[in-house]
Amino acid sequence: MIRSASHSSYPRIGDGAWDQQLRRTARERDRGLASDADYRAIEDEVASLVVAEQARAFVDVVTDGLVRWSGPFSHFCRGWDGVALDGLARWFETGLYDRTPAVTGPVRRREPVVVRDARLALDVRPKHYKAILPGPVTLAHAARVPEGADRAAVAGEIAEALAAEAAELAEAGVTMLQVDEPVLCRRPETAELVARCVGRVFGAAGVGATTILSTYFGDLSNPALDLAALPGTHLGLDMVHGAGNWPVLTRLPEGRGVHLGLFDARTVRPETAEEAFERIVPYREILMARDVMVGPQCGLELIPRDQAFDKLLQARYLKERLEREWRWRS
């Protein structure tokens, strides 16, 4: 089967008058002219519109754009005990900044963080809705931990908190779950820990759920990396910044689906479905036997909305061509 898929985030504001509403309300809130409740109401509306906008591009798998997320590091900390927010840090080499989690004690889930968001997104009735969770190992590596603390143990605690979130997402009707572990591309030595922690999260995602271990900002070409040991029904690979991932396709475990990041979500340079098609043609036989999703390689909020929409359109055109021209066996 072949599907087009959004990766995770989507630009929450655009150039049109209404598209600026979130930014405008944030400014009014700063000046005491709007309340937190006003802001949250706009956020809910923008999230629903973002789901609809991705569906308008006829993308099969959509997200809620992570519109309510404060940032890739900080968002989940608000629902957990044992983590405070520290200084500002970059999300890898992107232009996006976030507060660094600072571990102050055992990490424990206090309350759900994205379960309500998922319910609201499902209300829009998209074809396939994908919920996103941060990777426990990526978070543990980004966090400040007390001197002498065991980062692997912190990752394990975070995984427990995320597993509880995954279980509630499943109860809410989520059947597709993605966990983002970009750290795996930079630190292949974390593979065993990633397998254990993400495996724990996916184990709570419900029977029959589609589970995607997403990696990006690099590749998984390290020959010592045991791909079969990585959890999930699908492996997300960055084919833009991870040139070494093309040979990885030949090493994929039997039956494992792939979420191919073929469009560059970090540049506004126009890309076409035809260019992407030419790149994957050599892997036709490998891919036709699998469940494949095609789309951008990471969240789209690093580029403006018009270009983000265009990347999704190209993903859709690519999927349509692949569906038409290839004989899918999966």
Partner 1 sequence: MALLTTTIGSFPKPPLLHEARRRFAEGEIEAPALREVENEATLRALRLQEDLGVDLLVDGEMDRADPITSFAERLSGVEIAGWVRVYGDRYVRKPRIVGPLARAGASTVERFRFARGAASRDVKAVVPGPYSLLDGSYDEHYPSRKAAASALAEIVREEVRDLAAAGATDIQIDEPAAGARGDELPLLHDLLARVAEPVEGRARLWVYLGYADLEAHGPALATLPVDGVLVAAAHSGYAGIEGFARALPADRFVGVGVIDTLRAAVESEEEVRGRIARLRDLIPADRLWVVPDGGFRALRPDAARAKLSAMVRAAK
Contact residues toward partner 1 (CB under 8 A) are: 11-15, 20, 22-23, 26, 30-32, 70-71, 86-90, 93, 95-98, 100, 144, 267-269, 301-307
Burial class (CB in 10 A: 0-12, 13-18, 19+), 53: buried
Minimum gap (Å) between residue 262 Cβ and partner 1:
19
Toward partner 1, which CB reaches closer, 15 or 285? 15
The DSSP secondary-structure symbol of 146 reads -
Q: How far apart are CA 71 and CA 68, in angstroms?
A: 9
Minimum gap (Å) between residue 326 Cβ and partner 1:
32
Toward partner 1, which CB reaches closer, 141 or 234? 141
Strands (E), 221-288: 234-238, 257-263
Residues 6+ apart with CB under 8 A from 73: 89, 91, 98, 99, 100, 101, 134, 139, 142, 143
Minimum gap (Å) between residue 268 Cβ and partner 1:
5
Closest among 177, 149, 145 to 163, alpha carbons compared: 177
Toward partner 1, which CB reaches closer, 268 or 313? 268
Q: Contact 227/251 with Cβ under 8 angstroms? A: yes
Q: How far apart are CA 280 and CA 141, in angstroms?
A: 33
Toward partner 1, which CB reaches closer, 23 or 119? 23
Residues 6+ apart with CB under 8 A from 150: none
Toward partner 1, which CB reaches closer, 188 or 304? 304
Closest among 200, 198, 258, 188 to 226, alpha carbons compared: 188
Toward partner 1, which CB reaches closer, 211 or 297? 297
Minimum gap (Å) between residue 168 Cβ and partner 1:
26
Residues, the chain:
330
Toward partner 1, which CB reaches closer, 151 or 256? 151
Instruction: Classify strands 234-238 and 210-214 as parallel, antiparallel or unpaired.
Output: parallel
Minimum gap (Å) between residue 254 Cβ and partner 1:
37
Toward partner 1, which CB reaches closer, 21 or 178? 21
Minimum gap (Å) between residue 111 Cβ and partner 1:
21
Q: Contact 276/318 with Cβ under 8 angstroms? A: yes
Instruction: Classify strands 210-214 and 131-134 as parallel, antiparallel or unpaired.
Output: unpaired
Minimum gap (Å) between residue 33 Cβ and partner 1:
10
Minimum gap (Å) between residue 70 Cβ and partner 1:
7
